[in-house]
Amino acid sequence: MTGKHRERLPEWAREASLGIFIHWGPYAVPAWAEPEHIAGEEEPEGGWFKHSSYSEWYANTIRIEGSPAAAHHAEVYGSAPYEDFLDQWQAEDYDPAAWARLFASLGADYVVPVTKHHDGVTLWDAPGSEGWNTVDRGPKRDLLGPLADAVRAEGMRFGVYYSGGLDWSITDFPPIVEVDDIWRYRPNDAAYAAYATAHVRDLIDRYRPSVLWNDIEWPETGKEDGSLDELIAHYREVVPDGIVNDRWGADVWDYRTSEYSMGREKEDGVGWEHNRGLGSSFGYNHVEDESLTLSPRALAEHYTDVVSRGGRLLLNVGPDASGRIPDVQLRTLDGVAGWMSALKPYTADRSYPGADAVTVSAADGNWCRHWASGDRLVVVADRPEAVDVTAPGHEVVRIALPD
């Protein structure tokens, strides 16, 4: 299996239905992006990257001439470099135990924090990252270890996100303005491949993550010289039931991922993962208010739809620079937590009931999804009592969506 994906996910991953993504970095200090655009949907005039709704891309967007982010940065911060935000990021209210309790209250199975995003800042003292990590600057501490301990104490699994394909701290490429620029302006040399490999190997050895989540592929040299295969083999030895996502540009993945409206063709079968934020950004964007954030009801619908189609939802939270989860996000999470945790026992052992034996019919205007969980047929709807169900051999469980 060295360097190749699994034929079957481990049991915990097959049973899982909800993960929590955490995007937290220096970008939480400016916490700004245009919030109107959803990734993968109709592009705004001027293109996605010029008008990106991802606040975690702030270091790129402010370098695009004529972008609203560049104008905002000039107005608020003048000519201050992005690295100033690393020093201003203090994480003074960071309480990983409180985060973990919140995530557990939602019925989350696993938690995946960003350990290095495209800005190159590592949230631990990664090998070779001196002067560009949260131990040397800003928060002045390892932000990952305490979270790993807190997450596991609440009975959830701990994973890691790592941006293997982009690192703006070690390159002097122009900003990414169009999709092709992502592949044109990314480091692929042997030195960067060794740097990234050392980071991920350190994450594996220190934190034993159950999920290894890479982004924007892997440097080409690392694919060609065999070091990526060696890295994945090491991971499988250290964490035998760990799982690997599909964003390496190589055949090392265990499951497919989609993001907002991108990659929907990958949402097939059982075990895929859909990831998105509560708003249109992953990192905290202080512009996003309640009108731009999923309501408890909308989140319940989204989660139910993913579960009914055999997937897992990797739902992102974006803490502010102090480490607090913003009130607009807490409103949604607290508002749906009781409902999602009550649904949790019915999301395991999912399968598709036989089409010949099971029929589910809901009248127009009665939003409805269903799936099999063992010998139970789970029906979630606006008015579940009004859904007509024929399910021989299944106990029918009817659950109403939250108001």
CA distance 259 to 288: 19
Whether residue 297 has pLDDT greater than 70:
yes
- On whether both 381 and 306 belong to a single domain, the answer is no
Cβ density class 301-320: b for 16+ within 10 Å, e for less = bebbbbbbbbbbbbbbbbbb
Q: How confident is the model at residue 349 (pLDDT cuts 50, 70, 90)?
A: confident
Per-residue model confidence as pLDDT tens digits over 193-240: 999 999 999 999 999 999 999 999 999 999 999 999 999 999 999 999
3 part of a folded domain: no
Q: Give φ, ψ of 101 to 5 degrees.
A: -65, -40
What is the domain range of residue 357?
350-400
Per-residue model confidence as pLDDT tens digits over 125-176: 999 999 999 999 999 999 999 999 999 999 999 999 999 999 999 999 999 9
**Which residues lie closer than 8 Å to 57 by C-beta, 6 or more apart?**
27, 33, 49, 118
- On whether both 285 and 383 belong to a single domain, the answer is no
CATH number for the domain that contains residue 79: 3.20.20.80
CA distance 85 to 197: 26
211, 217, 220, 225: CA torsion to nearest 10: 20
- On whether both 282 and 372 belong to a single domain, the answer is no
In the chain, the number of structural domains is 2
Radius of gyration of the chain from Cα atoms? 21
366 part of a folded domain: yes
Q: How many Cβ atoms are within 10 Å of 331's Cβ, its own excluded?
A: 15
- Percent of the chain at pLDDT > 90 equals 91
CA distance 396 to 377: 5
Are 9 and 106 in contact, with CB atoms under 8 Å apart?
A: no
- On whether both 43 and 101 belong to a single domain, the answer is yes
Are 275 and 18 in contact, with CB atoms under 8 Å apart?
A: no
Are 350 and 310 in contact, with CB atoms under 8 Å apart?
A: yes
Nearest to 402 by CA among 298, 277, 290: 298
Q: How confident is the model at residue 56 (pLDDT cuts 50, 70, 90)?
A: very high
CA distance 352 to 358: 10
2 part of a folded domain: no
Amino acid (1-letter code) at residue 341:
S
For residue 310, give Cα distances in angstroms to 184, 198, 313.
35, 35, 10
What the block records as the tokens of 156 is 């959830």
Amino acid (1-letter code) at residue 2:
T
- On whether both 223 and 367 belong to a single domain, the answer is no
Are 99 and 144 in contact, with CB atoms under 8 Å apart?
A: no
- On whether both 318 and 246 belong to a single domain, the answer is yes
User: What's this model's pTM, rounded to 2 decimal places?
Assistant: 0.96
Nearest to 175 by CA among 69, 262, 64: 64
